[in-house]
């Protein structure tokens, strides 16, 4: 695709020069020291890579290519009549580091439309799995099945210069991302809608077409929710499990399909992407416990009791953020501006009004504020997408936009294979005793 490829190619000499200068002139400069606690504590907080695609500021939330969520919601191009951005523009920004015009966004949308056809063998592979297989497993299998189509893998066999690896990664990324709404919709329909097949509409955008394909055609509010959701979840810097896994696997020159499937397997974990289904389940359990919506007093006592019993309240807290996640705020504003009335959304508002104060009193939690998962599920549920084991697939559809952009750039900047070193317990003990 000329426009995206050209935009990246134009910037590459400058980026490569900056990276080379850092490596050659400041190769010994220490960014941070690693402590024993960090080694045993999930390398938490250790800055292990550079990525310019997004950065999570603890006090402000994510910035994508330097722009905050509220800024991007205002300035990214939208279709006439739509209130939320075109995913094509989001992908353009992630990949090129430049704000897209409406035409730029539509060029990506058109590329996706042309590349969206999913080969029948992929559907058949998924169909052969037992019905009770988790949707995330099916999603990962679908991506792996598509790997046969990898342009990079074919070109690598023939022999391609390292300088150009990124071009084939870009082709694979466009081919894979084009198919994601269709793949997700196929899994949703297979599992929950008797395997119906609804084709995408040529005049609908990538995000809205997901709605079309799961039988929400003609619902502009759901189209806007898809646009908002797919934008908000597109990236969360490089250190989280799915981003790190994708980056690591791609450093072995595993193609975009193999690398993104690895990321999706990480996203499927309960401590990462699966948290949004936990959160909705918690809201439903609270509603059932009270046989409806509790009063403020009832909810407050319930939350205090849960915390005193050592229970985790899903949707609150974050490993990096120390403020309300702007992605939560954007979705809350969506619910308010679209006048969505449901008891679950009312419960989301009530918990938001009460819980941070209690968590602050408690003092143990580093961040008492809601994260994106505190509302995600309640919104999908409102629109009748009630099968919450599916929510991580939606997250995955969006997140692969960021993951694939990261690895296109990793190849463009000629990043080598990752190979950190491990040591044994005795070695560590001996190092400490010598000090």
| Residue among 165 and 318 whose Cβ is closer to ligand COA | 318
Q: Which residues are catalytic?
A: 272, 318, 373
Contact positions with ligand COA (CB under 6 A) in 254-293: 275
**How far apart are CB 372 and ligand COA at their closest, in Å?**
6
314 near ligand COA, rule: CB under 6 A:
yes
316 near ligand COA, rule: CB under 6 A:
yes
**Among the residue ranges 20-28, 102-110, 136-144, 312-320, the one whose residues contact ligand COA (CB under 6 A):** 312-320
73 near ligand COA, rule: CB under 6 A:
no
Strand ranges of the sheet holding 67-68, from the earlier edge strand across to the other edge: 54-57, 61-64, 67-68
> Is the Cβ–Cβ distance between 247 and 406 less than 8 Å?
yes
By CB under 6 A, the count of residues binding ligand COA is: 16
**How far apart are CB 253 and ligand COA at their closest, in Å?**
31
**How far apart are CB 281 and ligand COA at their closest, in Å?**
12
Residue pointed to by tokens 């697939």: 393
| Residue with the CB atom nearest ligand COA in the bound state | 317
| Residue among 287 and 304 whose Cβ is closer to ligand COA | 304
235 near ligand COA, rule: CB under 6 A:
no
> Is the Cβ–Cβ distance between 404 and 237 less than 8 Å?
no
Instruction: In whole angstroms, give the CA distance from residue 358 to residue 350.
Output: 13
| Residue among 142 and 314 whose Cβ is closer to ligand COA | 314
Contacts by 354-360, CB closer than 8 A, 24 or more apart: 354/296, 354/299, 354/300, 354/303, 355/303, 355/313, 355/316, 356/316, 358/300, 358/303, 358/304, 358/307, 359/307, 359/313, 359/316, 359/317
Running DSSP on this structure, what letter comes out for residue 338?
T
**Among the residue ranges 80-88, 106-114, 125-133, 366-374, the one whose residues contact ligand COA (CB under 6 A):** 366-374
Q: For 246-375, list the strands marked E by DSSP.
A: none
**How far apart are CB 373 and ligand COA at their closest, in Å?**
5
> Is the Cβ–Cβ distance between 294 and 333 less than 8 Å?
no
| Residue among 304 and 338 whose Cβ is closer to ligand COA | 304
| Residue among 294 and 315 whose Cβ is closer to ligand COA | 315
Q: Are strands 54-57 and 61-64 parallel, antiparallel or unpaired?
A: antiparallel
364 near ligand COA, rule: CB under 6 A:
yes
- Whole-number CA gyration radius for the chain: 22
Instruction: In whole angstroms, give the CA distance from residue 228 to residue 233.
Output: 9
**Among the residue ranges 79-87, 133-141, 198-206, 362-370, the one whose residues contact ligand COA (CB under 6 A):** 362-370
Q: Footprint of ligand COA on this chain (CB under 6 A)?
A: 275, 307, 312-319, 364-367, 371, 373
């Amino acid at each position: 695709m000329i426009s995206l490829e050209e935009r990246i190619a134009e910037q590459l000499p400058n980026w490569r020069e900056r990276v080379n200068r850092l490596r050659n002139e400041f190769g010994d400069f220490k960014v941070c020291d690693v402590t024993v606690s960090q080694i045993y504590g999930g390398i938490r907080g250790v800055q292990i890579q550079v990525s310019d695609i997004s950065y999570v500021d603890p006090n402000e939330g994510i910035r994508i290519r330097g722009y905050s969520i509220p800024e991007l919601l205002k300035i990214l191009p939208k279709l006439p009549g739509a209130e939320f951005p075109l995913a094509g523009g989001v992908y353009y920004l992630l990949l090129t580091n430049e704000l897209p015009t409406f035409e730029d966004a539509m060029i990506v949308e058109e590329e996706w439309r042309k590349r969206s056809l999913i080969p029948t063998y992929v559907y058949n592979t998924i169909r052969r799995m037992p019905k009770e297989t988790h949707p995330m497993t099916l999603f990962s299998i679908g991506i792996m099945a598509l790997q046969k189509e990898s342009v990079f893998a074919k070109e690598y066999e023939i022999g391609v210069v390292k300088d150009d690896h990124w071009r084939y990664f870009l082709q694979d990324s466009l081919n894979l991302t084009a198919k994601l709404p269709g793949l997700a919709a196929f899994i949703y329909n297979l599992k929950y809608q008797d395997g119906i097949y609804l084709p995408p509409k040529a005049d609908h955008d990538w995000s809205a077409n997901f709605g079309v394909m799961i039988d929400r055609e003609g619902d502009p509010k759901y189209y806007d929710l898809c646009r908002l959701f797919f934008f908000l979840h597109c990236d969360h810097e490089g250190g989280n499990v799915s981003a790190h896994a994708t980056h690591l696997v791609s450093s072995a020159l595993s193609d975009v399909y193999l690398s993104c499937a690895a990321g999706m397997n990480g996203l499927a974990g309960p401590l990462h992407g699966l948290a949004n289904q936990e959160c909705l389940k918690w809201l439903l359990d609270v509603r059932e416990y009270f046989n409806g919506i509790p009063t403020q007093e009832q909810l407050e006592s319930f939350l205090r009791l849960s915390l005193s019993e050592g229970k985790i309240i899903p949707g609150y807290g974050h490993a990096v953020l120390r403020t309300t996640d702007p992605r939560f705020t954007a979705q809350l504003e969506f619910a308010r501006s679209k006048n969505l009335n449901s008891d679950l959304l009312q419960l989301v508002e009530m918990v938001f009004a009460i819980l941070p104060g209690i968590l602050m009193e408690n003092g143990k939690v580093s961040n008492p504020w809601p994260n994106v998962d505190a509302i995600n599920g309640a919104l999908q549920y409102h629109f009748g997408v009630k099968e919450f084991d599916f929510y991580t697939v939606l997250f995955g559809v969006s997140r692969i936009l960021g993951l694939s952009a990261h690895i296109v750039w990793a190849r463009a900047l000629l990043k080598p294979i990752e190979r950190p070193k491990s040591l044994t317990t005795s070695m560590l003990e001996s190092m400490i005793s010598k000090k």
